[in-house]
Structure 1
Amino acid sequence: MNDPLVSIIVPVYNAAPDLARCIESVRKQSYENWELLLVNDGSSDTSGPICRMYERVDRRIRVLEKENEGVSAARNDALDRAKGAFIQFLDSDDYLPENATRDLVDRALADDCDLVVAHYYRVKGDAITKHGFLRDTGVMDQLAFARQLMEEPASFYYGVLWNKLYRAELLQENHVRCHEEINWSEDFLFNLEYIRYARRFAALETPVYYYVKNRGSITNSQIDLISVVKTKATLFPYYKHLYEQLGLYEKYKTQIYKYLIATASRG
């Protein structure tokens, strides 16, 4: 079986110190049929020249230049231009293990999955720890995955984009995109919308990502309790709608409402 093309999307904004490590982790993937979309979101440092240098030396790399509009708009621009059969997300200050894309694609193909979610490594200084929830190696349908999500709705594991592989056809046919008006937990909303269209889900215990704990990130510098409460109130109708659509809302109403008070767990 030929390896399908994977579009790896990286928003870039003033990321010069970590950018080469991020890009090199993609270039070193054991899986070779990928395109890397580097979206330079109006950077004022040397991120732009670094991206363009890599575009010159590796034909699989494409640089998209745009005015600064934020990470969601950057990802959406890349989704509009992605050519891959699968979509993978990566943040510019993080990096991938060598077999990350191979492990995700192999699982998606083996079980005809629409979403593969995997464990990841958290990097804080010299400490690297493994995180994740699902240990069931079987394929889950939409109902089974939604029940699992209900247990840890505020977790990084379910909420973020970067430890998952998405089927591009579902994203494009249903125009699933990041909500540009939200600057926190927008990944979770993206996932909630995607789950409505996905039918087969699988999990990997093998970590596929190095998440670097960064004091300057938006989750550490711009989010306060009031913002969290407001954002959760905005997101909850989408969360509730998913379970209404699946016919699970009345049975699990109490558990579903726990999302409003759940704290973010990294798994």
Structure 2
Amino acid sequence: MSDPRVSVIVPIYNADPYLDECLDSIENQTEQSLEIICVNDKSTDRTAEILEIRSQSDTRYQVFQGEGLGAGAARNLGIGASRGTYLICLDADDFFDETFIKDAADKLDTTGADLLITQSYTYENDTHEEYLTDWTFVTGNLPDKDVFNYRDMQDSIFNTFSNVPWNKMYKRSFIVENQLWYQQVKRTDDLLFTCLALVKARSITTIKRPYPHYRISLTTNSTSTNEVDPLAFFEAFRSLKEELEKLGLFENVKTSYVNHAIDGYYANLTSQKTLATFVKVFESAERYFTELELGSLKTAEYLNASQLAYINNAIAMSFDEFIFTQLQEVTAQRDLSWKTNRTNERERWKYYDAYTLLAPQIPILEEKLHNETEARKDVEGKLQRAEEEIETILNSKAYRFGTSIATPYRKVVDALRH
């Protein structure tokens, strides 16, 4: 049997409510030369049953049992087993548009690039609303060429493309040659793999339209369970810095790396769900700032001054002072919101009062407008009829005969006058 064109790798942990939609979106792709590699990472729900049923009816499935080490380890297992020319990963609670895999593989065929990246949707699980996800693909940062590499945008490479795996398709030979593996940490396992791929790729191309649908408002994915290992992101950024230094590339991409790390700290501290994990991340601020060289850029090179200030406050203040400061900022924002709402409310009532005064006049004005419109139509009709009568007279034989007789007389009169 010939090798498939694309390997799709799906790490799965207790995603029963969403797994069927995810797998349907892969099975129904317009590109049918696929292998669907599912890694069941010790799920305790109906995952095993679902995979058993599907693999019996569709020979494109390969099902493996993970060791419960997280999505990074599960993806690595899938990469090791893959045979496709290209490979892509999809999380078990997300799904693809049906043309994604073919469109991406065709573009990689055409360009010969090592890596392709697309835009994506955010899908609200509670409301079923979706919208373009701006943080996974910042189109305004792209160089003015269809195929490029990190050197064309080294100050923004990590800030243009997020770490998520599901909007990227890779040439499998590129992954194998560069020995790229996902980091085995509980969270942020995709940072090291993605960022190293971005700097090692000889060529990158994009499709500026969304295909993957990223599901949010869940309680089971890694971003909603960061209390498991709140400092995993620190380990991931530290590992990335070490690898970039080994490659001699850290100085080249320092601006992008530092801004990415600042955003990473802010995102992780503000998304903690428990006081204990919040304190752990808060207390890591000084080590994080120093080890990752967050203070090494010029002022103009920082993308988000408020996030940098947030970290500096976490370093300079005690925990109580920091929380009080945040409370003060929240209070100020609340007061501004109330003030804005009160202003808007006054404006609404002002217009409402004006409407109340004018409302009784509306039927009278409408009747006057109607009467004036009818009168205008009557005048226009009379004018039209008069124009038609004049045209009839001008074209009549009597008028033309009278004109021919009167013309010589007019010429004599005009001559006598002059």
Fold shared, TM-score > 0.5 on shorter chain: yes
Does the CA-based 8 Å contact 1:87-1:168 persist in structure 2? yes
> Equivalent of 2:157, from 149, 152, 159?
149
SS at match of 1:129: strand
Q: What are the equivalent positions in structure 2 for 1:231-250 lying under 5 Å apart? A: 231=235, 233-238=237-242, 240-241=244-245, 244-245=248-249, 248-249=252-253
Measured on the aligned residues, the alpha-carbon RMSD in Å equals 2.7
Does the CA-based 8 Å contact 1:134-1:203 persist in structure 2? no
Does the CA-based 8 Å contact 1:28-1:98 persist in structure 2? yes
Q: How far did 1:238 drift?
A: 4.2
For residues 132 and 103 of structure 2, the distance between their equivalents in structure 1, rounded to whole angstroms, comes to 16
| Letter of the 2:11 counterpart | P
Q: Deviations over 1:103-157 (max 9, x none)?
A: 211111111110101100000132201123136561113312544415x26xxx4
For residues 30 and 40 of structure 1, the distance between their equivalents in structure 2, rounded to whole angstroms, comes to 26
Q: What are the equivalent positions in structure 2 for 1:46-195 lying under 5 Å apart? A: 46-124=46-124, 125-131=127-133, 132-134=137-139, 136=142, 138-150=146-158, 152=159, 157-180=161-184, 182-195=185-198
1:28 corresponds in structure 2 to: 28
For residues 255 and 197 of structure 1, the distance between their equivalents in structure 2, rounded to whole angstroms, comes to 15
2:261 corresponds in structure 1 to: 260
Does the CA-based 8 Å contact 2:192-2:236 persist in structure 1? no
- Which has the larger helix fraction? 2
SS at match of 2:241: helix
Does the CA-based 8 Å contact 1:192-1:239 persist in structure 2? no
Label 1:247 to 1:34 Cα distance change in 2 as closer, same or farther (>3 A).
Answer: same
- Which has the larger strand fraction? 1
Does the CA-based 8 Å contact 1:88-1:164 persist in structure 2? yes
Q: Is residue 198 of structure 1 aligned with residue 201 of structure 2?
A: yes
Label 1:242 to 1:110 Cα distance change in 2 as closer, same or farther (>3 A).
Answer: farther
Does the CA-based 8 Å contact 1:84-1:168 persist in structure 2? yes
| Letter of the 2:59 counterpart | R
Label 1:232 to 1:3 Cα distance change in 2 as closer, same or farther (>3 A).
Answer: closer
Q: How far did 1:204 drift?
A: 1.2
For residues 225 and 56 of structure 1, the distance between their equivalents in structure 2, rounded to whole angstroms, comes to 37
2:6 corresponds in structure 1 to: 6
Count residues with an aligned counterpart.
Answer: 255
Label 1:257 to 1:65 Cα distance change in 2 as closer, same or farther (>3 A).
Answer: closer
| Letter of the 1:25 counterpart | S
Larger relative contact order, structure 1 or 2 (CA cutoff 8 Å, min sep 6): 1
Does the CA-based 8 Å contact 1:192-1:242 persist in structure 2? no
For residues 67 and 240 of structure 1, the distance between their equivalents in structure 2, rounded to whole angstroms, comes to 29
| Letter of the 2:198 counterpart | I
Q: How far did 1:172 drift?
A: 1.4
Q: How far did 1:49 drift?
A: 1.1
Q: Deviations over 1:53-87 (max 9, x none)?
A: 11111111111123322111111111111011111
| Letter of the 2:98 counterpart | E
| Letter of the 2:26 counterpart | V
SS at match of 2:182: coil
| Letter of the 1:81 counterpart | A
2:338 corresponds in structure 1 to: none
| Letter of the 1:141 counterpart | N
Q: How far did 1:174 drift?
A: 2.4
SS at match of 2:209: coil
2:373 corresponds in structure 1 to: none
| Letter of the 1:248 counterpart | N
For residues 233 and 56 of structure 2, the distance between their equivalents in structure 1, rounded to whole angstroms, comes to 45
Q: How far did 1:248 drift?
A: 2.1
Q: How far did 1:228 drift?
A: 6.6
Q: TM-score, normalised by structure 1?
A: 0.85
Label 1:166 to 1:145 Cα distance change in 2 as closer, same or farther (>3 A).
Answer: farther
1:43 corresponds in structure 2 to: 43
> Equivalent of 1:219, from 207, 216, 223?
223
Q: Where in structure 2 are there 5+ consecutive unaligned residues?
A: 268-418
For residues 190 and 109 of structure 2, the distance between their equivalents in structure 1, rounded to whole angstroms, comes to 24
